[in-house]
Amino acid sequence: MKLFDAAWAPSPRRVRIFLAEKGVEVERVLVDISKGEHLEAPYLAINPQRQIPALLLDDGRLIDDSYGICRYFEALHPNPALFGASAVEIGLVESWLRRIEHDGFQAVAMAFRNKVSVFKDRAVSGEWPPIPQIPELVERGRVMWTHFADVLDRQLTERQYLVEDRFTMADIAALVTIDFGIATRLPDPREGRPALARWHADASARPSASA
Amino acid sequence: MKLFDAAWAPSPRRVRIFLAEKGVEVERVLVDISKGEHLEAPYLAINPQRQIPALLLDDGRLIDDSYGICRYFEALHPNPALFGASAVEIGLVESWLRRIEHDGFQAVAMAFRNKVSVFKDRAVSGEWPPIPQIPELVERGRVMWTHFADVLDRQLTERQYLVEDRFTMADIAALVTIDFGIATRLPDPREGRPALARWHADASARPSASA
């Protein structure tokens, strides 16, 4: 089994934090995104979707999505249960993941990929025909980002972590999203949001955060 | 326990098909989206996110996302395992769900909500400050839709259903997305794509499809 990994990008980081929290070791192959290696033949032969991370299984099957990879390892190594232990927790974690991805992660991706020149005609992540940038989406992304940060802050005023006071995949997803937003120069969401700032410090202090 | 449900909209349909495949009955409350009931006080007191479906548990907690609700019931009623039985299946189903939502469902939502006048200043689903429509997104959505249909067709040329020849949540999600696209007048993706057309007929013939 081989995990195709990459520096800086948010989706591979999601898997690294998850595996560190599980204490699971996997053989890794580093793909250099800054050199465009994910767009070139050797990697395309492995994952035509061009995306990283991807998990190549020994039988040749490929799990080509960060959440797919994490759920695969959750099934093999159930503890700690990062996608939730009880049925209710499982439902709540998934609901937060969907909100974090749809409202938060998409906001950052939208603001970033429609602005930076390297993504000209590649405004959406993945394997696509040319998709031109739409500059108005930068502003839409910023509006969504601010509102998303308020929603997180409100939730974290009432509890230590996002779901049921226990560190879960929802916290991993939110941490990766917040750090991706800060790295791409969206307004720092910790400013003026004490609960979000406290949670971000807690999550960042875990050893997994630097995996 | 009460499931807040709505006619026509795609996300509640995802849950209805899932529950029908499981053979699980839940008390339902119908919210009339066509009258804007999901934007009014009684429903907002239940789900400030304004979205349907939502599952109100007996202890007052709310699972406010269609996938969250399905995963809750999957944990309570594991068979048939619609999110996958083995670890690999679980990983592959999740990967397909992410692709269907990100590439397919977002394409339809993008093309629809940035075009139709009822969504003026509500171009993104959920509870937001005003988000103006961006007409260029209608074309971006159409480009993504066509490409997404090609990806599905390619996958379904090799197998009966999307993952491992067994009907899963990935098929439910894809069916709901395809029908949502057709209902909102995107080009019919079955035309010129025989594998997709065959799969669509199979999935639509299941009793759950009309739940």
State residue A49's pLDDT score: 87
Task: Decide if pLDDT at B86 tops 90.
Answer: yes
Query: Tens digit of pLDDT for each residue in A155-194?
Result: 999 899 999 889 999 999 999 999 999 999 999 999 999 9
Partner B contacted by A137 (CB < 8 A) = yes
User: B77: distance to nearest CA of chain A, Å?
Assistant: 10
**Residue A82 located in a structural domain:** no
**Residue B37 located in a structural domain:** yes
Q: Are residues A194 and A99 in the same domain?
A: yes
Contact B144 A131 (CB under 8 A): yes
Which two structure tokens, joined as six digits, stand for A55? 């998990």
Among A24, A55, A76, identify where a domain stops.
A76
Going from the C-alpha of B174 to that of each of A126, A162, A209, B169, B177, the distances in angstroms are: 18, 29, 34, 8, 5
User: B76: distance to nearest CA of chain A, Å?
Assistant: 6
Among A25, A51, A76, identify where a domain stops.
A76
Q: Mean pLDDT lowest for which of A17-21, A31-35, A53-57?
A: A31-35
Q: Are residues A28 and A131 in the same domain?
A: no
Domain of residue A29 covers: 2-76
Strand partners, A3: A28, A55
Which among B71, B91, B93 has the least Cβ separation from residue A94? B71
Q: Are residues A28 and A121 in the same domain?
A: no
State residue A127's pLDDT score: 86
Q: Are residues B68 and B91 in the same domain?
A: no
**Chain B residue numbers touching A68 (CB-CB < 8 A):** 91-95, 98
Helix axes B169-183, B106-113, angle to 10 degrees: 20
The residue length of chain B stands at 211
Does the bond joining A130 to the residue before it have cis omega, within 30 degrees of 0?
Answer: no
Query: Tens digit of pLDDT for each residue in A71-92?
Result: 999 999 999 999 999 999 999 9
Number of domains in chain A: 2
**Residue A164 located in a structural domain:** yes
**Residue B165 located in a structural domain:** yes
Query: Tens digit of pLDDT for each residue in B198-210?
Result: 999 999 999 999 9
The full 3-state SS of B60-126, as one line of letters, equals CCEECCHHHHHHHHHHHCCCCCCCCCCHHHHHHHHHHHHHHHHHHHHHHHHHHHCCCHHHCCECCCC
Strand partners, B63: B55
Task: Decide if pLDDT at A153 tops 90.
Answer: yes
pLDDT-derived band at B109 (thresholds 50, 70, 90) equals: very high
Measured between alpha carbons, how far is B104 from B150 in angstroms, rounded to an integer?
Answer: 11
Q: Mean pLDDT of all residues in chain A?
A: 96
**Chain B residue numbers touching A140 (CB-CB < 8 A):** 123-124, 131-132, 134
State residue B46's pLDDT score: 93
Q: Are residues B97 and B199 in the same domain?
A: yes
Q: Are residues B65 and B109 in the same domain?
A: no
**Chain A residue numbers touching B65 (CB-CB < 8 A):** 94-95, 98-99
Residues whose CB falls within 8 Å of the CB of residue B84, separated by 6 or more in sequence, listed in order: B90, B91, B92, B93, B94, B163, B168
Coil, strand or helix: which one is A194?
A: helix
Q: Are residues B100 and B189 in the same domain?
A: yes
State residue B165's pLDDT score: 87
- Nearest 10 degrees: Cα torsion A113, B127, A182, B96: -50
State residue B126's pLDDT score: 85
Q: What's the rounded mean pLDDT across residues B30-45?
A: 92
Q: Are residues A50 and A99 in the same domain?
A: no
Partner A contacted by B57 (CB < 8 A) = yes
Which among A91, A106, A144 has the least Cβ separation from residue B63? A91
State residue A165's pLDDT score: 87
Long-range CB pairs of A75-78, under 8 A, 24+ apart, other chains included? A75/B86, A75/B87, A75/B90, A75/B91, A76/B87, A77/A22, A77/A24
User: What's the complex ipTM?
Assistant: 0.97
Contact B134 A140 (CB under 8 A): yes
Q: Are residues A39 and A94 in the same domain?
A: no
Q: Are residues A106 and A206 in the same domain?
A: yes
Task: Decide if pLDDT at B127 tops 90.
Answer: no
Q: Mean pLDDT of all residues in chain B?
A: 96
Measured between alpha carbons, how far is B83 from B70 in angstroms, rounded to an integer?
Answer: 9
Coil, strand or helix: which one is A108?
A: helix
**Residue B176 located in a structural domain:** yes
**Residue A143 located in a structural domain:** yes
Measured between alpha carbons, how far is B51 from B109 in angstroms, rounded to an integer?
Answer: 14
State residue B191's pLDDT score: 98
Predicted TM-score (pTM) above 0.90:
yes
Q: Are residues A122 and A145 in the same domain?
A: yes
**Residue B92 located in a structural domain:** yes
**Residue B54 located in a structural domain:** yes
User: A209: distance to nearest CA of chain B, Å?
Assistant: 23
**Number of residue pairs across A and B with CB atoms under 8 Å?**
114
* Closest C-alpha among A20, A154, A55, A139 to residue A96: A154
Query: Tens digit of pLDDT for each residue in B158-167?
Result: 899 999 889 9
Residues whose CB falls within 8 Å of the CB of residue A61, separated by 6 or more in sequence, listed in order: B88, B92
Among B54, B76, B98, identify where a domain stops.
B76
Q: Are residues A194 and A158 in the same domain?
A: yes
Task: Decide if pLDDT at B49 tops 90.
Answer: no
Q: What's the rounded mean pLDDT across residues B39-64?
A: 94
State residue A53's pLDDT score: 97
Q: What's the rounded mean pLDDT across residues A141-158?
A: 96
**Chain B residue numbers touching A51 (CB-CB < 8 A):** none
CATH code at A31? 3.40.30.10
Query: Tens digit of pLDDT for each residue in A87-139?
Result: 999 999 999 999 999 999 999 999 999 999 999 999 998 889 999 999 999 99
Query: Tens digit of pLDDT for each residue in B74-85?
Result: 999 999 999 999
Q: What's the rounded mean pLDDT across residues B17-41?
A: 95
Task: Decide if pLDDT at A148 tops 90.
Answer: yes
User: B58: distance to nearest CA of chain A, Å?
Assistant: 11
Coil, strand or helix: which one is B57?
A: coil
Residues whose CB falls within 8 Å of the CB of residue B35, separated by 6 or more in sequence, listed in order: none
